[in-house]
């Protein structure tokens, strides 16, 4: 089986579950805590949107990133055909790494900040 057989909706939900409540410490940004996660996806790529807070931000900030099957598979290793908890944990860790890179270097790297609702 190939990674394309992964259910994107299931993958998005599992990755969102793996992100909920996670936190990461950054010398530049302080402690970043994931406070809410929304997952959307009927087909690849899956999209994860998460809200974070850090001690020096006046409000929660919302970020979005997406993932392709290649982000959780290695063509040199056999694929089980099932999206498992280990894949979800890997994508959750990747999302936080992308966020830290974004905060350190600016736009790029597959993540972007969602503008807050002006109302």
Q: Decide the pairing of beta strands 30-40 and 46-53.
A: antiparallel
Phi and psi at residue 4, to the nearest 5°: -65, -15
Q: Decide the pairing of beta strands 46-53 and 111-114.
A: unpaired
d(CA 17, CA 71): 17
Q: What's this model's pTM, rounded to 2 decimal places?
A: 0.76
Q: Give the per-residue pLDDT at 12.
A: 85
Q: How many CB atoms lie within 10 A of CB 59?
A: 8
Q: Give the per-residue pLDDT at 75.
A: 62
One pLDDT digit (tens) per residue for the chain, 119 residues: 344 467 788 888 888 899 888 988 888 777 888 888 888 777 778 888 888 888 777 888 888 888 877 776 666 555 556 778 888 898 888 888 888 888 888 777 788 888 765 55
Q: Give the per-residue pLDDT at 113.
A: 87
110: left (phi over 0), alpha (psi -120 to 50) or beta: left
């Amino acid at each position: 089986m190939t990674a394309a057989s992964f259910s994107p909706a299931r993958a998005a939900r599992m990755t969102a579950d793996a992100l909920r409540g996670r936190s990461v410490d950054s010398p530049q940004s302080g402690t970043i805590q994931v406070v809410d996660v929304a997952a959307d996806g009927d087909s690849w790529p899956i999209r994860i949107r998460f809200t974070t807070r850090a001690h020096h931000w006046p409000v929660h900030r919302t970020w979005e990133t997406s993932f392709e099957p290649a982000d959780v598979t290695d063509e040199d290793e056999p694929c089980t055909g099932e999206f498992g908890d280990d894949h979800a944990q890997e994508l959750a860790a990747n999302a936080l790494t992308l966020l830290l890179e974004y905060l350190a270097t600016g736009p790029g790297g597959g993540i972007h900040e969602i503008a807050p609702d002006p109302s």
